[in-house]
Homo-oligomer: A and B are copies of this chain.
């Protein structure tokens, strides 16, 4: 008979992914199977928790069908936040507040599904717990389409975004070939500082598709003149030219390419200029200088919410990292993040392990220079060998009346 292990709380933080809820299910189901008393879900991450907003997940996940629906529901089920805890030395009040609430709710295990910033939260809570002699176990569950977390081979969420980008790039390339008229298409892919997602456009290349002509990652400075020269060369010998660029490509002087857009301001509520319009800036330039039909396509948020075409490997691993976090915490781990360790590419074998969150938080993993070609306009085979296993197989949505069905908190 299972022994009761007290209460668990789980939160989701940072940008959504198509499979973030599969990790939530992994935490929930494993905790319940291993005898957790209650599994709470904080609403909008630690920010909502500080406001006393949380739910008892058993009231919302009521059946095996709910579990299957939730796995396939994009965007954080519990809502998310972009809240960074202060340094402990600057403000202990907020930590006292969190720990008081955790105590009041009799929480023994705390799981946080997220990326870099979220691991910073786990790190600080662990540290404060140790300082104050708390017995609560804090564990990080990796998640981000950006794949920029260190130590782990890759992050859940990345494989599905890559599969979406590869598929859509392939479809757009076919579309560009339809007319007997020359055209240049620029695809804008997410990833401000790391080119993992943009490089995924190369997946389109295969026996039935020649793939994009060039790929520009944010890891290298963007040489505008070389870019224009290469596009002209390609345009001179090909009907349809397709180029993938990261939203975050920067000129050698440090300015973002999207800042070259004149007269357009796209700011958010905080006055931050949004990194959007890179593809359009480049397409306009090419239209003017080359005089051909151009098209700018921003993949936009679809990259992180297209749960209608997820990678089964990804959604399975997302579940596994959630489960592994629970297992590790229940067995005494604290202040760690679950990582994925690749044993081999072919056959693809990948196992979970745990790693000190202090060494992961706030570190950004970029595409290695040697995985980008010398000219800086394409990825090398090593990149594709790395990414290909992560996009394999599918988990089809549960379709109701013609559309994918999701589970929501209001159900």
Contact = CB atoms under 8 A, between A and B. Distances in A.
A396 B396 CA distance: 9
A343 interface: no
Contacts of A392: 401-402
A265 interface: yes
Contacts of A296: 266, 276
Contacts of A400: 206
Interface stretch (A77-85, A102-110, A149-157, A190-198): A77-85
Interface in A355-406: 388, 391-394, 396, 399-406
A293 B44 CA distance: 17
A407 interface: yes
Interface stretch (A91-99, A120-128, A162-170): A162-170
A263 interface: yes
A309 B404 CA distance: 10
A76 B283 contact: no
Nearest to A283: B266
Nearest to A281: B264
Contacts of A267: 287
Interface stretch (A25-33, A172-180, A213-221, A330-338): A172-180
A301 B297 contact: yes
Contact of A170 (B47, B301, B404): B404
B180 A48 contact: yes
A189 to B, nearest CB: 14
Interface in A255-312: 261-269, 276, 280, 283-284, 287, 291-298, 300-302, 304-309, 311
A130 to B, nearest CB: 30
Given A181-B269, A404-B170, A175 B208 contact: no
23 contacts: A16-B178, A47-B180, A75-B171, A75-B177, A75-B178, A76-B178, A166-B403, A172-B301, A172-B305, A174-B305, A175-B301, A206-B403, A209-B406, A261-B264, A262-B263, A263-B263, A264-B284, A266-B280, A268-B287, A269-B291, A276-B296, A302-B302, A311-B402
